[in-house]
A and B are shown apart, each in its own frame.
Chain A
Amino acid sequence: MSENIKIIKDATCTFCGCVCDDMELHVDVEEKRIVKAKKACVLGKAWFLEHTIEDAPAAMIDGKEVSIEEAIEEAAQTLVKAKFPITYGLSDTTSEAQREAVAITDYIKGNIDTTTSVCHGPSGLAFQGIGESTSTLGEVKNRADLVIYWGGNPAESHPRHFGRYAVTPKGMFTPGGKKDRTIVLVDVRKTKSSPVADILIKPKLGKDFEVLWALRALVKGKKLADNIEEITGVPLETLEDLAERMKNCKFGVLFFGMGLTMTRGRHFNSGALLALATDLNEFTHFVAKPVRGHGNVTGADNVVSWQTGYPFGVNFSRGYPRFNPGEFTTVDTLANGHADAALIVASDPASNFPKKAIDHLKSIPVVALDTKRTETTKDAHVAFKTSTYGINTTGTVYRMDDVPITLRPAFESPFPDDESILTGIKKRVQELMIAKHQATGASGEAKVAAAFTPL
C-alpha cells in the first residue's frame, strides 16, 4: 500500500438494490485500488476491494485486440445489418447509459429488455394488473411497525436492508428501532435471515399463493376451510394471528423477493401479495415493495418506461414501441430463435439463462459491454471492457424504492464508460440507418434525418 491515500466520503455502493450511499472509501491513488470500504457489508466490501484495474484490451473483435473506434464501427454494422437485433441487460450501469441503449434500439428497430424480465418481471405485470401501494425506504425506516419479508433472504442478498432501512434503524416514529417493530419472515427454507424474525412462517413449497389468498380472506372477515394447514403447511392460528397484526399495525410493509416471482404462479403470486396490501389499506396504511437485486435495475425500469412507455420486453420493429412479455422478453427472443444479433450491456446471460437460450445466444453475433470477462464477453463478436459505475464513473442510479442517487467515483479507470461507448454506437447507427433509408428510396435527406431525431 502506498502513502498516497485519498478518502471519498458518502460514496455509493452499487452492488445491490440497497444502493447504500454512506460509504467511506480509502483509495490508494498510486495503486488505483480501494483499500478500505467503511460501512460496506460483506458483498459491498468484495465489490470495492476486488475492483482492480486489470491489464486487458479495451476492445476486441472475435478475440483480437482492436481500437475502440474499430470496435464501435463493427458493433454498429452488426446491429444495423440484423433483422431482429435485441438489446439486453442494463441493470448494472448508469441511467445515462441505459438511455443511450434505448435510443440505439429505437434506431435499429430492435427489441429491448432488461434483467427485470428474469427477476421482478412478473411483479411488473402484477403492478399493471393490481397497482402498487408504495413508499420510499425512508418512510419504512421512520414509520413501519410491522415488516414482513416474503420469499427472500436479504441477510445474504441485501445485507444492509435490515440495518439501514427496515429492521434495526431508529426512525422518527420508531425510536426504539427493532423494539418498535415486529418482523415476520415467510420462506420455505430456513436461511441466514431467519434469526432476525419475531415470527417465522414456513409454507409448503409452492403454496405461497394459497397462503396469501387465505390471508386476504381472513382480512376480509371470511372463514377458512378447516384443512388450511394441510393445504398450505401453515396452522390456522398463525394465519389468524398474522391477519390481525396486519390489520392493527400503524404502518405495515410487505417486502417480497424472487421466492415469489421465480416460482410456480410467478405474477399471480406477486399479484396476490399486492392485492393483500391494497385490501389492508381499508384498515391501516400498508405498502408492498419488491426487493430489487442489481444496483440499477430500478433505473432500467424507470428509463425504459419513460422512454418507451413500458418497463421491459419492448419491441420497436414497427417503428413504435410494443410491449409483450413472453414474446419480446429475452429468454423468449433467444429460445425461440428470433434474435439474430444482440447488444448485451453489463449482464451475463450466457451464464444464467436457460440452456436453450444460451445455445442460441452463442450462435449469433454479440456486442457485449462489461467490466469483467464473463461467459458472455468471452464468445462475443465485439467485446468492450468498460469502467465500473460508482467506482470509476459518475452518473445516476435508482435505489430499489425509485429514489435517484448521484454516484461519487473513487478513481479513474483507463477503460471507457458504458455511456461513451453506447453514445459512439448510437451516433454511428444513426448514420448507417439514414444511409440505409436513403438507399431504399426514401426522399430527401432532411426528411429522413427528421425521422431519426435522437431521443
Chain B
Amino acid sequence: MIIINGDSKQGKFVVENLILIPGRSSKQGTTLNQGKLKDAYKEVTTTLEMNQDDMDRMKLVDGDEVRLKNETGETKVRCLGKKPEDLPAGTAFIPYGPPSSELMASDTAGCGMPLSKHMIVEIEKILS
C-alpha cells in the first residue's frame, strides 16, 4: 500500500491506494426498483464502505467526502466505516453504479469482461 502524507493549503491530507471491490447490496437492489435516477439509489451508489482502521488512520469519519481516482477517471463518494474484521485493511466496497463506472477501465483482455472488482484506486479526503 502506498501512503503519501503531505500538506495542502488547507491543512494536512493523506492519499492512499486502496483495492476497490464494487458489488451488489440489498439496499442497492431495493432502491433500484424505485428508479435509478432517484435520490435513494444515488445515495447508495455513492457510499464507500471502508475498513475502520484505515479510516481512523486517514482521519476520516462516517459521511466524510473522499475523492477516488485512478488512471481511468475519478469520482467523489462518502465513506462509511466497517469493522476491521469484516473488510480487510486496504480494501473498500461500493455498490455498483455510476461512480464505480467512472473508475472502471474498458480493457477486457479478450474476454468481454472489464476488471470490475479489484480496482486499484487512490483515495483522498476532500477538505471542506
Q: Which residues of A contact B (CB under 8 A)?
A: 15-16, 42-43, 45-47, 50-51, 113, 117-118, 121-122, 125, 153, 155-157, 159, 188-190, 192, 202, 205-206, 258-259, 261-264, 266-267, 293, 312-313, 325-326, 329-332, 334-335, 348, 351-358, 372-375, 378
Contact B30 A117 (CB under 8 A): no
How far does the alpha carbon of A166 sit from the alpha carbon of B36 in the complex, in Å? 31
How far does the alpha carbon of A354 sit from the alpha carbon of B96 in the complex, in Å? 11
Residues from chain A with a CB closer than 8 A to the CB of B109 are 266, 326
Closest 3 CB pairs of A and B: A329-B112, A326-B110, A335-B106
* In the complex, per-residue mask of B97-125: 1 if CB is within 8 Å of any chain A CB, else 0: 11011111111111111111110000000
Q: How far is the CB of A293 from chain B (nearest CB, A)?
A: 8
For this complex, 26 residue pairs linking A to B, each with C-beta atoms less than 8 Å apart, are A46-B29, A50-B34, A117-B112, A125-B111, A155-B26, A189-B86, A205-B88, A205-B118, A258-B116, A258-B117, A261-B113, A262-B117, A262-B118, A266-B113, A293-B24, A313-B112, A325-B110, A326-B111, A331-B108, A335-B106, A351-B97, A355-B72, A355-B104, A358-B101, A372-B35, A373-B37
How far does the alpha carbon of A351 sit from the alpha carbon of B101 in the complex, in Å? 7
Given contacts A190-B85, A348-B36, contact A354 B114 (CB under 8 A): yes
Residues from chain B with a CB closer than 8 A to the CB of A335 are 106-107
Residues from chain B with a CB closer than 8 A to the CB of A117 are 112-113
Q: How far is the CB of A386 from chain B (nearest CB, A)?
A: 15
Q: Which residues of B contact A (CB under 8 A)?
A: 19, 21, 23-26, 29-31, 33-37, 72-73, 85-88, 91, 93, 96-98, 100-118
Residues from chain B with a CB closer than 8 A to the CB of A351 are 36, 97-98, 101
Residue of B nearest to A259 (CB): B117
Given contacts A15-B29, A351-B97, contact A121 B36 (CB under 8 A): no
Contact A356 B86 (CB under 8 A): no
Given contacts A312-B112, A355-B102, contact A205 B37 (CB under 8 A): no
Residues from chain A with a CB closer than 8 A to the CB of B35 are 372-373
Q: How far is the CB of A204 from chain B (nearest CB, A)?
A: 8
Contact A122 B113 (CB under 8 A): yes
How far does the alpha carbon of A45 sit from the alpha carbon of B26 in the complex, in Å? 12
Given contacts A51-B33, A122-B111, A355-B72, contact A42 B117 (CB under 8 A): no
Residues from chain A with a CB closer than 8 A to the CB of B101 are 351-355, 358
Q: How far is the CB of A121 from chain B (nearest CB, A)?
A: 5
Residue of B nearest to A188 (CB): B88
| Candidates B30, B31, B106; contact of A356 at CB < 8 Å | B106
| Candidates B19, B21, B36, B117; contact of A375 at CB < 8 Å | B36
A sample of 8 more A-B contacts (CB under 8 A), given A351-B101, A355-B101, is A118-B112, A121-B111, A155-B26, A189-B88, A262-B117, A313-B112, A352-B96, A353-B101
Contact A42 B26 (CB under 8 A): yes
Contact A374 B111 (CB under 8 A): no
Contact B104 A354 (CB under 8 A): yes
Contact B111 A325 (CB under 8 A): yes
How far does the alpha carbon of A351 sit from the alpha carbon of B37 in the complex, in Å? 10
| Candidates B37, B93, B97; contact of A189 at CB < 8 Å | B93
Most buried by B among A15, A189, A192: A189
Residues from chain A with a CB closer than 8 A to the CB of B100 are 352
Residue of A nearest to B24 (CB): A157
Given contacts A189-B87, A354-B106, contact A262 B115 (CB under 8 A): yes
Contact A43 B111 (CB under 8 A): no
Residue of A nearest to B116 (CB): A262
Most buried by A among B73, B106, B109, B118: B106
How far does the alpha carbon of A45 sit from the alpha carbon of B16 in the complex, in Å? 40
Residues from chain A with a CB closer than 8 A to the CB of B108 are 325-326, 329, 331-332
Contact A205 B106 (CB under 8 A): no
Contact B33 A46 (CB under 8 A): yes
